[in-house]
Amino acid sequence: MTEPNTSHVPVTEWAALVPELDVSDLARSLDVYTRLFGFTVNYTRPGFAYLSLGRIQWMLSQIRPEGSWQTGPLEPPLGRGINFQIQVPDIDALHRRLEADAYPIFVPMKTSVYLEGDTEHQQREFLVQDPDGYLLRFTD
């Protein structure tokens, strides 16, 4: 990404935890995250974008050969061993958008029950991989 630092939608409160994902093609990832997943671009600088979706904040960074924070080789699919649960305001609309675009669904929509002690929590969820293979679990 070669545009200068650009602020699109100011962040009014910074999240305490913000994942930063290294991506192979920032422009492609931005397209998927904004057009399909529904994220908003808060600001960019060359090779970097800060996004949000409701209270979720997310960073995407173009992989660079001189990346000083890489702990090992980056081989697809990236993010093996982690999934990000993302609560969305309208899971049905998101699911329809992805299906209309023929975007691959990794785990189909289902209702899951999770226990917190004796309390049952139900959520509808489905999983996709982003363009680099990071696993995203969208929930209602």
How confident is the model over 58-91, as pLDDT tens digits?
A: 999 999 877 678 888 889 999 999 999 999 999 9
Q: What is the mean pLDDT of the chain?
A: 91
Query: What does the pLDDT read at residue 76?
Result: 92
Percent of the chain scoring above 90 in pLDDT: 81
Give 24's Cβ-side CA count (13 Å radius): 12
Mean pLDDT on 46-54: 94
Mean pLDDT on 8-13: 78
Could you tell me if residue 102 is left (phi over 0), alpha (psi between -120 and 50 degrees) or otherwise beta? left
How do strand 56-62 and strand 48-53 relate by DSSP bridges?
A: antiparallel
Query: What does the pLDDT read at residue 69?
Result: 82
Per DSSP, what are the bridge partners of residue 62?
A: 23
Domains of the chain (ranges, CATH numbers): 6-65+76-139 (3.10.180.10)
Dihedral sign computed on CA atoms, order 130, 136, 137, 140 = negative
Mean pLDDT on 36-53: 94
| Alpha carbons 70 and 65: distance in angstroms, whole number | 9
The pLDDT tens digits of the residues spanning 111-135 come to 999 999 999 999 999 999 999 999 9
Structural tokens at position 79: 């993010």
- Using alpha carbons, select from 36, 130, 49 the residue that is nearest to residue 82: 130
Query: What does the pLDDT read at residue 72?
Result: 83
pLDDT at 13 over 80: yes
Question: Which helix H or strand E contains 113, and what residues bound it?
Answer: strand 107-116
